[in-house]
Amino acid sequence: MVQEWRRRYKELKLLPPRPVDSGPVMENALYGEGVDVLSFPVPKWHEHDGGRYIGTGDMVITQGPDGGWVNLGTYRAMVHDRNHVGIDIGRGHHGRRHMEEWFARGEPMPIAIAVGMDPLLFLVASTEVPTGTCEYDYAGAIRGEPVEVMPGPITGLPIPGGAEMVLEGFVDPQERRPEGPFGEFPGYYGGGVRDLPVIRVEGLYYRNNPIILGTPPLRPPNARNHYRGALRSALTWDALEGVGVPDIAGVWCYEFGSTVTVVAVKQRYPGHAKQAARLAAQMPGAGHYAIVVDEDIDISDIDEVLWALCTRVDPDRDIENLKDCLASSLDPIIPPERKAFPTISRVIFDATRPYEWRDRFPEVVASSPALKQQVLARWGEVLARAGIC
């Protein structure tokens, strides 16, 4: 699946969205004093959440003050009152970059939040596509036809006309309100309560009988693992090859509340394995651990990965601690006093046969392909009747 996604990704030709004048989302339009987000059944998703969150399965639309690149991201949004919604955009995210550019000018940032949209748009909005690439173009390339967008009546930002609901307004550079806690993807209320930016909602548009899409994070494993793992693995694989790491045999990203990235390599030179692990540990969305294994390990089988960790790692020479790496404030291991500027250490494990004496490393206890074929040729019918093969 990862290989197929990589193949298709290389063939993708970005397809810009198609402008339209309107769409079903404008069946109902409220402005100014008519805006009341609380008139909808916005859920409190977890028992100890600090409020009701309209933004979980959302798509947040931003653009820098100089125009150009439009970004779509999935960021949580808590309702404060009828026309104010808190927004949490972590450091390192493209939407945060746009926000900081507006704030550096002392100007409010235009913003729109789509709640309930084409599933493909949610998929790309929650994936780490390259900086400068508009997710609308990315979604159009995947589907083979452009996404229809209309200008937001308040901000002019391109909003999906087919969305269930869109909130439109501005993020003030000065205003902050307490936000959280919220049960997040690591499986904890790790963000706590923080003073975060606030959106003043000036326009609210929705279909008749709108459906609020929610994807509340839960303790892992959860549904996010099924779609994010393959996409993140493909992007990481391409990024490693793009910076010149040769002979990568596979990449798989596990999510246990934080991503564990496993890279398989066919070793070509001293330091090859650690090179791959160090770079993988710095990829967007990378978690605390990056593991590199030999090409004989099935990286999608966690039992095989753990076997390699237990038998091919010398703790003295094969484990490295990379300090002061970019982190999410939602990481439960970061203490409250460091949430504003979060960093963590990332650990790499070289779980490959030592390059210098790999040819003398003990042979794995396993049947060769030739022996397997010999046994099947003789006993295949018997084994098949027994339901074994």
Q: What is the dihedral of CA 112, 113, 119, 120, to 10 degrees?
A: 30
Shared domain for 58 and 172, answered yes or no, is yes
**In-domain check, residue 6:** no
**In-domain check, residue 388:** no
pLDDT of residue 248 exceeding 90, the answer is yes
Shared domain for 186 and 232, answered yes or no, is no
pLDDT band at residue 224 using 50, 70 and 90 as cut-offs:
low
Mean residue pLDDT of the chain comes to 91
CA distances (Å), 290 to each of 194, 252, 333, 351, in order?
A: 30, 10, 18, 10
CA–CA gap between residue 147 and residue 13 (Å, rounded): 14
Q: State the Rg of the chain over Cα.
A: 24
Closest by CA to 259, choosing from 327, 339, 180, is 327
pLDDT of residue 286 exceeding 90, the answer is no
Shared domain for 126 and 19, answered yes or no, is yes
CA–CA gap between residue 272 and residue 276 (Å, rounded): 6
pLDDT of residue 371 exceeding 80, the answer is yes
pLDDT tens-digit profile of 17-63? 999 999 999 999 999 999 999 999 999 999 999 999 999 989 999 99
Q: How confident is the model at residue 127, as a pLDDT? A: 82
pLDDT tens-digit profile of 183-223? 987 788 888 899 999 999 999 999 999 999 898 888 877 66
pLDDT of residue 225 exceeding 80, the answer is no
Q: Are 249 and 295 in contact (CB under 8 A)?
A: yes
92: left (phi over 0), alpha (psi -120 to 50) or beta: left
Task: Specify the range with the lowest mean pLDDT, choosing from 20-34, 108-122, 328-342, 365-379.
Answer: 328-342
- Residue that is last in its domain, among 206, 240, 257: 206
Q: How confident is the model at residue 62, as a pLDDT? A: 97
Shared domain for 152 and 271, answered yes or no, is no
Shared domain for 253 and 334, answered yes or no, is yes
Percent of the chain at pLDDT exceeding 90: 71
Q: Are 170 and 199 in contact (CB under 8 A)?
A: yes
pLDDT band at residue 123 using 50, 70 and 90 as cut-offs:
confident
Domain count, the chain: 2
Shared domain for 143 and 25, answered yes or no, is yes
CA–CA gap between residue 141 and residue 136 (Å, rounded): 9
Element (H, E) at 16: none
pLDDT of residue 284 exceeding 80, the answer is no
Task: Specify the range with the lowest mean pLDDT, choosing from 194-203, 269-278, 362-371.
Answer: 362-371
pLDDT tens-digit profile of 56-93? 989 999 999 998 899 999 999 999 999 999 999 988 89
For residues 305-327, average pLDDT: 93
Backbone dihedral angles phi then psi of residue 117, each to the nearest 5 degrees: -155, 180
**In-domain check, residue 370:** no
Shared domain for 33 and 182, answered yes or no, is yes
**In-domain check, residue 3:** no
**In-domain check, residue 214:** no
How buried is residue 92: exposed, middle or buried, by Cβ count under 10 Å (0-12/13-18/19+)?
middle
pLDDT tens-digit profile of 137-191? 999 998 999 999 999 999 999 999 999 999 999 999 999 999 999 998 778 888 8
Q: Are 124 and 118 in contact (CB under 8 A)?
A: no
**Looking at residue 53, which CATH number applies to its domain?**
2.30.110.10
Domain limits for position 322: 224-360
Q: How confident is the model at residue 334, as a pLDDT? A: 82
**In-domain check, residue 326:** yes
Shared domain for 151 and 285, answered yes or no, is no
**Looking at residue 311, which CATH number applies to its domain?**
3.40.1670.10
Shared domain for 179 and 241, answered yes or no, is no
CA–CA gap between residue 374 and residue 368 (Å, rounded): 10
Shared domain for 281 and 202, answered yes or no, is no
**In-domain check, residue 271:** yes
Q: Are 38 and 69 in contact (CB under 8 A)?
A: no
Hey, what are 323's tokens?
């300090």
Q: Are 199 and 87 in contact (CB under 8 A)?
A: yes
Q: How confident is the model at residue 170, as a pLDDT? A: 98
**In-domain check, residue 2:** no
Shared domain for 229 and 329, answered yes or no, is yes
For residues 253-280, average pLDDT: 91
For residues 304-316, average pLDDT: 96
Q: Which residues contact 47 (CB under 8 A, 6 or more apart)?
A: none
Shared domain for 32 and 70, answered yes or no, is yes
What one-letter code names the amino acid at 270?
Answer: P
Strand partners, 293: 264, 351
CA distances (Å), 303 to each of 9, 108, 144, 193, 300, in order?
A: 30, 50, 39, 38, 9
